[in-house]
Amino acid sequence: MRHDLSPPSDLRCDELSFVAGDGVTHLGITLFRPEGRARATVIYAHGGGFSHGSRRDKTALHLARRLVPEGVAVASIDYRKRTVIDDFPTDRAQMIGDAQARSARVGLRINPDYCGSAFYAAVEDYAAALAHLRNHADALGLGGRMVALGASAGGIAAASLAYPPRGPWHTLPRPDAAMGVCAAMVQPWRLAADGPPLVMMHGYHDGVIPPQNLRLLARKADGKRAPVTVHITDVRGHRHQVEAFLNGTDAVGRPYLDLLRALL
């Protein structure tokens, strides 16, 4: 769902700028917000394999139309794309390579690009956007929890920011809660009992990110008593999962969007 749209005139919308995790690049946030102070904020990161996509994808607009009337702000963020390992200092590049190898050893079946240098850049930028919104919450009329949400690659970043990688990334600001749709957490060994709530929604068959990764995450979370909930749905396919999240219901008629609402 990467059809870019201009912000609609019927929603209150602000275009913001923040400095990325590299301390140099300037990135954008499209912030949809209700009248008065928002009771919570959803920070949404789009999909695209860490190589393409933008904050103006139509998923963000659909989220805003659903949540802003409920008093929830929706901040759709950009992050750096196609970041290569040479963009990191040598010591950090070594840490990234070691973690990639460990992800494979623990049993994750995922494209190496989804846990490599571009992934780390996206996590850094997600954290920078979160910090920017927190620092300017009063001026922007934002209150309550800040929940990280992402689809596909954006969901990998959202879940991983809740339990960030070791090294210099360990001190990144964390969201109050997080949710990933058709995504994965690429370093499940980072889970901890005192971490923020994390919800993962995934289809029973996904050719991009196999659901076995989510079952592995569920086992790791259970062993560490981490507050992680994994929902394997009966929706087949990768992109169809996002459509189901926005508009679908589970077997007993509960909207999948309620998984996010419960985190607010």
Instruction: Give per-residue pLDDT as tens, 134-185.
Output: 999 999 999 999 999 999 999 999 999 999 999 999 999 999 999 999 999 9
Q: What was the pLDDT predicted at 8?
A: 66
Give the chain's domain count. Answer: 1
Domain that holds residue 219: 37-55+80-261
Q: In this structure, is residue 133 part of a structural domain?
A: yes
Q: What was the pLDDT predicted at 92?
A: 97
Q: In this structure, is residue 102 part of a structural domain?
A: yes
Q: In this structure, is residue 16 part of a structural domain?
A: no
C-alpha 214/C-alpha 110 separation (Å) is: 11
Q: Token pair for residue 207?
A: 């050719």
- String of DSSP letters for 98-136: HHHHHHHHTT----GGGGSHHHHHHHHHHHHHHHHHHHT
Question: Could you read off the pLDDT of 174-217 as tens digits, one per residue?
Answer: 999 999 999 999 999 999 999 999 999 999 999 999 999 999 99
The yes-or-no verdict on residue 42 having pLDDT over 90 is yes
Q: In this structure, is residue 194 part of a structural domain?
A: yes
Q: In this structure, is residue 100 part of a structural domain?
A: yes
Q: What was the pLDDT predicted at 10?
A: 76
Give exposure, 194-209, as e/b (b: 16+ Cβ within 10 Å): ebbbbbbbbbeebebb
Q: What global pTM score does this model have?
A: 0.95
Q: In this structure, is residue 11 part of a structural domain?
A: no
Q: In this structure, is residue 71 part of a structural domain?
A: no
Question: Could you read off the pLDDT of 55-92 as tens digits, one per residue?
Answer: 999 999 999 999 999 999 999 999 999 999 999 999 99
Average pLDDT (244-254) is 95
Q: Please report, as a single letter, which amino acid is at residue 151.
A: A
Q: Token pair for residue 261?
A: 């609402």
DSSP secondary structure code for residue 54 in this structure:
-
Q: What was the pLDDT predicted at 3?
A: 42
C-alpha 183/C-alpha 198 separation (Å) is: 12
Say what the alpha-carbon torsion angle 115, 119, 123, 128 is, to the nearest 10 degrees: 160
Q: Which residue has the tokens 């050719």?
A: 207
> What CATH number has the domain bearing residue 244?
3.40.50.1820
Q: In this structure, is residue 17 part of a structural domain?
A: no
